[in-house]
Amino acid sequence: MQPSTVPRASNPVVGVLVGADREAFAAYVASRSAPLLRTAFLLAGDRQEAEDLLQTALSRLALAWHRVREREALDAYVRRTMLRELLSLRRRRRVTALLVAELPEAPTELSGVDAETRLLLWQGLRRLPPRQRAAVVLRYVDDLTEVETAAVLGCAVGTVKSQTSRALATLRADTGLRDLNPSRISPPEPR
């Protein structure tokens, strides 16, 4: 985790938290920043944009900390905030992104998958529309259930199923992924 990603105590947003709330928030940020940054990176496709998404989501969480009753739902709140912010940013700026030949350093590695396979999968994910990519990332990388994914995306469970199905069909038909040997990948079974 980059130091700039984690809200600092001197940050005015974190300054609104006092005592036990401040300690609980700091503990949450310390324990969950890396997995949430991975999710942000997979959603955004850019390390810097992922860090910005996570920073924004954590800042909003700090402001809403006193209203959060279900502490188990913090990850869902942060994921939903990151997704909404990403979609909002994409709507506001319709500028095409500069694609580079080299994939930047990934925040975490997929265990048991070689670098070439990760690159091919990453390129396939980048070609998916944002909502389909979000559904696949939340279902298969973050291992959320269909119901949890629907809550994060703010849609019906049926929409999650159709978005995931379309995304997987697109990935299966992707000529860049056709030569990929399925035995090189061991995806988790969705819940």
Q: Which of 34, 68, 99 is the last residue of a domain?
A: 99
Domain that holds residue 168: 109-191
Q: pLDDT of 42-94, one tens digit each? A: 988 889 999 999 999 999 999 888 888 787 889 999 999 999 998 888 777 65
Q: What percent of the chain has pLDDT over 90?
A: 32
- Structure confidence at residue 104 (pLDDT): 54
Q: Which of 99, 118, 135 is the last residue of a domain?
A: 99
Q: pLDDT of 10-42, one tens digit each? A: 455 556 677 788 888 999 999 999 999 999 999
The answer to whether residues 60 and 142 belong to one domain is no
Q: Would you say 38 and 118 are in contact if contact means Cβ atoms under 8 Å apart? A: no
Whether 13 maps to a domain, the answer reads: yes
